[in-house]
Each structure stands twice: as structure tokens, then as C-alpha cells.
Chains A and B, each alone.
Chain A
Amino acid sequence: MGFEQDYKGLQDYYEARRLNTRIHVIQVLFGAVLVLYLFAFWYLQIVKVDYYRRLSDNNRLRRVTIKPLRGVITDAEHRVLANNRVAFNVRLDREKVTDMKTFFPRLAGILEMPESTLRDRIARYRGRPVFEPVVLKEDVDLAEAAYIESRRLELRGLSVEVESRRNYLYGPLAAHALGYVGEVSEDQIKTDPSGEYELGEIVGKDGVERQYDEDLKGDKGWKQVVVNSLGREIQEIEAGRKPDPGRALRLSLDLDLQRALEAAYADEAGSAVFLDPASGAILAIISRPAYDPNVFAHRFSQDIWGGLVNDPRRPLQNRVSMSKFAPGSVFKIVMSIAALEDGIATPARGDHCTGTWRFGEKVYQCWAVRKGGHGYLTMREAIIQSCNIYFYHLGNDMGIDRISKWAHRFGFGEPTGVDLPHEESGTVPDPDWKRRTVLRDPIWHPGETISVSIGQGALEVTPIQMAMFAAAIGNGGTLYRPHLLLSREVREGIEEDERQDHVIRRVELRPRTLEVIRDAMWGVVNEDGTGGRAKIAGRDICAKTGTAQVFRASRDIDADKLPKDKRDHAWFVGFAPKDNPRIAWAVFVQNGGHGGTTAAPIARAVLERFFQKLDSRQGVQQLASVAVPQ
């Protein structure tokens, strides 16, 4: 062996050793990483096992809400006004359809719907999990549901789903009072403090449905299910909780009176409320134009909804409590009471009406100006004839502060607290109010007092305030909060009356004042006054008409020939009978012209039905007392 070879051998030896060392390094490196992983598994699976177990359970377990049935709404005599009915929806399970192309034409034929509509509805579910069924047609009738069920084999994926749906038995009857239901808005979900609302949940949107949603909606039930990563239910694992149905509500409404009222309104716009002067319980309530609340229960009602919202006649507005109008001559009752109580005038105060009165630079007219005025009048005659000149003078003597004080006492200018959402306060103007709100002309002018004296000017009231006022005159001065809720079902079959005291306040009135006012209001209807069309023999109906000006007609224009939307609003507000009144009301007809012409007959129709029922009930009671001798 030569040196070179030895050297080479030595080099080989060192090279082999180095190689060996490097291999060893790699071995250690891999070993170290494996040990690191061992600790990683130990940490995740042994140390943090509880944490990850919980996350794993949260992943696969879902709480599924079971919707409760909504509470039934009935009238005072337990006649159902709103309940729930079974609805059939046609659904498509997209997963089961293999060939959409040939499927669509057949589907369109069977459902009798255009293909384009079907495609649109399916397109809306693009991006949603494929097992989520698409509702193609809502609320089909039983025959169609049966027909589709019978053809299921032929059309795989098509099925009929049964759903509970709100049902208003009489459609638009008392629509604004009952309200309607709909899917909860995202806003509501965010702002609700209880945080109980879920997307897609049905809640009350207006009227009683909204006001008493808490009672009506019931308690949701739930079940626990195992779901996969797509959210599809794999199995149910716990019993969960059954849903509790909502409470049944009994309203003070009387379906018979309500129907009479609906019929009497015919095509007129406006609103009316009839209530019990001894409690404030609302017996009948209407707002026109109305809508059918059933349409809101549909999923595909966008166009109907848009039509209602954009309708210039504003059918969604509840004109009983959400709209305010000038009270017109009805306010003369407030004027009279204020004058009598504050000692400004006695019932004997006389005045002379020539048809016009110059005050400052302006000439104020009486509606009787064309026949040369009313001549000499006392207070009673001024109310019966609804003379403007008499009350101009009275208002001028009294001053705006007194008028405002008494209007406020009777609840004008503040919400009555009726159990309906979004109530309007109305306006009772006075110098202070004007300074605060009318910034371009903050000074109170004496002429404004004159306008307010006959219920015009900035004065605005709601029909519900007017009805409460009429009831107060009838019952001797007590303001009862108007309300619809009579009782609610606490447990199945057990009702609990509303124990709430509905008295807002008692306005102290001298008996003499009440006597004069009631007598004058009796005269309005029974003594050839402005409300003669409401007269029912033997019923002693007391009322006051009112006309709220919409368009200032000059002396030469015949008001009856004006276009309908320029005509005045008509009021007819009162109570009956004169002694121990059983019913009070405010009837308002939008653009109805004179109160006595259009509003009085509507009240009369309802009152006839009311007294007819009262008589038969009393007859039964008499019979009962005869049949059971003491």
C-alpha cells in the first residue's frame, strides 16, 4: 500500500465518519420533532381534552326551536276574530331532482305557475344548503295539496308542508285594531332586550297583535338534534321542551256592533270608535280605508305590501289613534263647559248672530251666513244650531289660556293610552306652545283664539280622544282610558280579567254644567238641530256635530259641489241614552262634508244595533227573574 492509497484510505475513513455524524444529526432532528409532536398530542388530548370536548359538542349539537301556536283573539262574547289555521305549502327538495331541465315544464304544469316564477323562487335559494327545501307555492287548498301528494312518485322532490298560519276570520273587519303579524325585522331582533327573537319568527306588527305580542306569542319549545357540518339534522337526541301556546285574548269588541259599523261606513274613509262610558272598553272600532291582514301572512306578498305602503289613501294608517284632525264644532262643548265652570258665562248668556263678525282686520263668518245668521241665541241654542258667532265672542271673552286649560283637562293634547301602538297626541295650541314650535311666527295673535273657539286653527285631536271626551260628558266627568283588552287566558280555560283601573282622572264638573251640556247635546239630535239624522225615537241620543275645514270655501261656492278630497271632514260625537249612558262614540268621516249629513247616519246604524241587543238582553234578564220567583 502506497502513501497515496493510505492517505486516501484515511480520507475515506474521515469522510465516512463525517457522513455518519451527519446522518446521526438528521436522525436526532427527526426524533426531536417526533418528541415535540408527542407533547403536542399530550397537550391537546390530555391537558385540554375538556375544552375540546365541549367545542366538539357545540359543533354537532344544535338547539332547534319549535314554534308555539299564537293565542286566539276573540270578541267580548268569545266569538273568534283571529286564530290559526293549517296551511299547505308546496316545497321542492332540490337534492332529489336529478334533471332540472325536464322537471321545470312538468312542475309548471302541475302547479299551474309560469316557469319563470318557479325559477326565480329556486334561484333565491342559491348559496343555501341544498337540503333546505324551497317553498314554491304557498297556501294551496286541500284539493291541490292532495293532488300533489298523489303525484309525488312521479315528481320526486316535491312535497307538501303543513304550517300554522294566522287567520283573520273576517278579513278587513277591525283590521287596524287587530293588526297583523309578520316575520320579525332585523331591527327588532337587535333592539329587543330579551334577545329571544329569532330570524324568521312571526311576531305582531300592528294593533293588538303588536301591543299584546308578549301574551299572544307563547313560549317557544326546543329540541336538541345532531347536525353535520352542513347543518343537516342527523338525529334527535333529547326530548327538549314542548312549546307553550300563546294566551287567548278576549277583547271588549262586540262583533255585532263591529259588523254594523263596517256596513254603515260603506266606501267612506275615516274612523270611528264606540265605547262603554262607564269603563272605556271599546265596543267597536274602525278605520277606513282598511286592508285584509291575512295577506301579510304570506311569504310572497311583496307586491301587495308595496301597494299598501304606497297607496295615497294610506290604508295602513290607523285613523282612530294615529291621525289628528281639527275637532270643528264639537269643540264648542269644551268651550261651553269652560265658560260655565270658570264663570265666564251662564247658560242664559245671549248673543246675536248676524252671520259675520269683524274682529281686528278680519271678518269671521258663521256657517249660517247665507241665511243672514242665526239671530238671537242662548248657549243651548248656540250649541244646537252650532252657531260660530256665539263662540267667537265667548272665546274672545275667555282667552286662549282658559280654553287650553280645559282642553287639556279633557285629555286633548296627550295620548289617551289606548292599547294600540303609535298613538298620536294631537295639539292644543296656546301662546307657550306657539313660542316653542312655530319658530317663524312665535307670537300668539288674538285671531287665533277666535279660530280655536270653533275648533279650527292649530287645534288637532284624534278620534279616540273625542270618544273619551264624549264618554266623560256622559258619565259625569271621568276620563277612562279607552282599551280593547277585556281579559286574557291565564291557563287553559281560565281567564283573568284585566284588573287595571282605567281611570285617567276625574274632571270636577258642577251638576248644573253637566245638565246644560247634556240637554243641549240632546237638542242637537232631537230638536231639529244639526244631528237630527241620528235620532232614534225613545233613545235620547245626545251628540254634537262638527265640520273640520279642509278647504276655505268662499261664500259663493256650494260646498256640496266641491270635489270629494276638498270637502270638509265630518264629526259626530256623543253618547246615549241621556241618563245613565251605555255607549259613547266619535264618528269621523274624512271629506264627509257636514257632520250631520254623513257621520250621524253611521252612528245611528250602530246605535240601532246596540239598543236592539240591549233590549233583548234585558228581556232575557226579565224573563229569568220572572222564571225564578224569590
Chain B
Amino acid sequence: MPAWRSLNNFDWILFLAILATCSVGLAVIYSATTGTPSAGAFHRQMTYAFYGIGLLFLALTLVFGRVVNASKSWLGAGGVQFQPSEIAKAATILMLAAYMGRERVRGLGVVHFAAICLIIGLPVLLIMRQPDLGTAVTFAPLFAGVVFIGGIRVRTLLILGLIATLALPMAWGHLKPYQKERVKTFLEPTRDPKGSGYQLIQSLIAVGSGGLLGKGFLAGTQGQLQFLPEQHTDFVFAVLAEERGFIGAMLALGLYFVIIYRCIATARAARDRLGVFLAIGVVCVFAGQALLNIGVVVGLLPTTGVPLPLMSYGGSSLASTLLGMGLVLNVWMRRLVN
């Protein structure tokens, strides 16, 4: 495989231009969201409006959406296509932060808990109607994070855990056959190596065969010969691990660690509760997605179809991630402002 020749032909100008555009985009988003955490009445109304628009788009998607892979998750007009679920995700983070940061909430009462459930539940229900389980799942870390930071009592947590455990067999009955198949396959991948276990096995082969140093850029046979399914979205990290090996995977994992760590540092340093919940909301969604995605790639989690933030192909996902990062940057910048 002529890896180096390909690398020489690589369009560095285009690459740098894309990098620059992303940075500019990040800066614009940053600037556009500046002041949001100041919690003025106007901004709160903006947040409500944003949340409302997010829900509206989700509802529209159910009616006018384009069907991709058996789920109606894309909305488009003309040449512009986007996933409203990504917008809704950002809107939900803002909405939750606005609600939880609204006043000095001591502990997490029943009313607050119900409000959180409602704010998250509305978009999740709409997304599950598409049905897009992968995106819906990414709301779970957000929910868990906000409830936990909000100060849920250990006793309440235990009761909720118990209810969840009891509800699990019932929920199993409501899962779609293909979803059950995914879980079964995760528990026993060799059960159906040509069917639903295929992705998992191919992913493990891709990662494992990468070794310490990897097969080289563009030389990963699992990815290049299309043994890996969904290689530019769900299994992009497997391609990286195959071509760049353990060292490459560790570098990438390290970058994600830095991002998560800085977001959490931001939450800790935030000037007000609004800032805390914003940063926590963003980091929970971001880290949740990243860890879910990579967990699938190494075979520790069942296939969910969650894209890897910042790496997977997909404009809507990238936009919503950058939006979130912009918010966190704002929180960090304003940590000293009083």
C-alpha cells in the first residue's frame, strides 16, 4: 500500500483551511453565546425559545423527515440537511442549565426531579419515535449528570435504582427485535458472525490487528477493504486504532481526556450555578458519547450507533459539539467576572 505517496499527495492547504474554518466556527459560536450565562431575563427567554424550536424541529422531523437506515432522523430543505436531534441536544443542555441555575436550589426535590425528567423526556420521546435509539441514549448521561450534580439524595438514588432494576425486564419487552438482537449479540458475538455480531467482530479485528504501531495511514485493511461497517461514523475510532495502533489510540484517548478534564475544571471554577450546570451538561453529553462510542469499538458495550464527537463524520453532530464547547469556553472565560 503506497501510504507515503498518498500522504505526499495529501491536500494540506485544504486540510489547514478546514482546521481554520473549524476554529473560526468555534470562535463565532463562542462569541455568539457570550453573555448567555449572565442569566438575564432576555437570555432566559432566548433559551426557552431555543428549546421550543428544538422540540418543534423534532416534531416536524416525525412528519417531514427523510428516512435513513429505517429511521426518520433527518430534516432538510433544498440542499441543507441536518439532524434536529443534535439541535435539541444543545437546547436541552441550555434549558436544564437555565432551570437548575435559576435559583439557589438546595438538594433535589420531587418537583425539581420531575422538571428535569420533563425537560429531558420531551425531546427523548420525540427522538425515540423516529426511532433513533443511538441519539436518545446520549441523553442518559446528561440526565444522570444533572440529577447527580443537582444533589439527589443517596436514598432517592437507591429507590430509583431499584425501580429501574424492576422495570428492566418490562423495558426488554418493549425493545424492537433488532435492538434485542444487538444486546444478545453483545453478550455473545460469535452467535451470528455474519449477522449482527459481524460489526463487533470486525471492529475487534481492526483494533487488535493494529498492534502497537498500527498498519499505517490508509493501510488498514479492515477499513480500506470495507470489512468495517459504518467506518466513518460509528467505527471511526476502530479505523484509527487499526492504522495508528495502540500509540495512536492512546493519543486520541488522551485528547478526549484533556477535553473532558478541562470541561470539568470549568464546571468547578464556574462563577455561578448556571455555569456549573452548563459545563456539566456539555461534558456529560460529550464524554457520554465518546465513552459509549469507544466502548462499542473495544467490545465493552453493545452496538448503539452513537457517533464519536469531533471525529465521526456528520455536520450536525460536529456543530452541536462545537456549540457546547463554545458554551464551556464562555463559562471558563467568565469565571472571574463578577
Contact = CB atoms under 8 A, between A and B. Distances in A.
Interface of A: 11-12, 15, 18-20, 22-27, 30-31, 33-34, 36-38, 40-42, 44-46, 48-49, 51-53, 55-56, 59-60, 226-230, 234
Interface of B: 104, 106, 145, 148-149, 151, 202, 204-212, 221-222, 225-227, 241, 245-246, 249-250, 253, 256-257, 260-261, 264, 267-268, 273, 276, 280, 283-284, 287, 291, 294-295, 298-300
B260 A49 contact: no
Nearest to A45: B246
A59 B222 contact: yes
A193 B280 CA distance: 66
The secondary-structure label for the interface of chain A is: helix
B206 A56 contact: yes
27 contacts: A12-B104, A15-B104, A19-B149, A23-B264, A24-B268, A26-B145, A26-B280, A30-B264, A34-B291, A37-B300, A38-B250, A42-B246, A44-B208, A45-B208, A46-B211, A46-B246, A49-B210, A52-B205, A52-B209, A53-B208, A53-B209, A55-B209, A56-B221, A60-B221, A60-B225, A229-B225, A229-B226
B155 to A, nearest CB: 16
Contacts of B227: 59-60, 228-229
A107 B291 CA distance: 55
Contacts of B287: 30
A138 to B, nearest CB: 32
A24 B222 CA distance: 39
Given A40-B298, A59-B205, A15 B221 contact: no
Contact of A23 (B206, B226, B250, B268): B268
Contacts of B148: 22, 25-26
Contacts of A36: 300
A31 B106 contact: no
Give the residue among B226, B284, B298 with the most A Cβ atoms within 10 A.
B298
| 4 pairs of A and B residues whose beta carbons are closest in the complex | A52-B208, A56-B209, A228-B225, A40-B298
A45 B241 contact: yes
B75 to A, nearest CB: 31
Contact of A56 (B145, B222, B295): B222
A45 B212 contact: yes
B208 A19 contact: no
A380 to B, nearest CB: 79
A357 to B, nearest CB: 77
B128 to A, nearest CB: 25
Contacts of B291: 30, 33-34, 37
A40 B300 contact: yes
A30 B144 CA distance: 13
A46 B256 CA distance: 21
Give the residue among A36, A53, A59 with the most B Cβ atoms within 10 A.
A59
A95 to B, nearest CB: 15
A52 B298 CA distance: 13
A26 B264 contact: yes
A60 B260 CA distance: 37
Contact of A37 (B245, B260, B276, B298): B298
Contacts of A52: 204-205, 207-209
A19 B249 contact: no
A20 to B, nearest CB: 6
B50 to A, nearest CB: 25
Given A23-B268, A27-B261, A59-B202, 11 more contacts: A23-B264, A23-B276, A25-B148, A36-B300, A37-B253, A38-B253, A45-B241, A45-B249, A49-B212, A60-B225, A227-B225
Contact of A41 (B151, B207, B209): B207
A44 B204 contact: yes
A258 to B, nearest CB: 53
A9 to B, nearest CB: 12
A34 B288 CA distance: 11
Contacts of A22: 148-149, 151
A224 B318 CA distance: 42
Contacts of B276: 19, 23
Contact of A26 (B149, B209, B225): B149
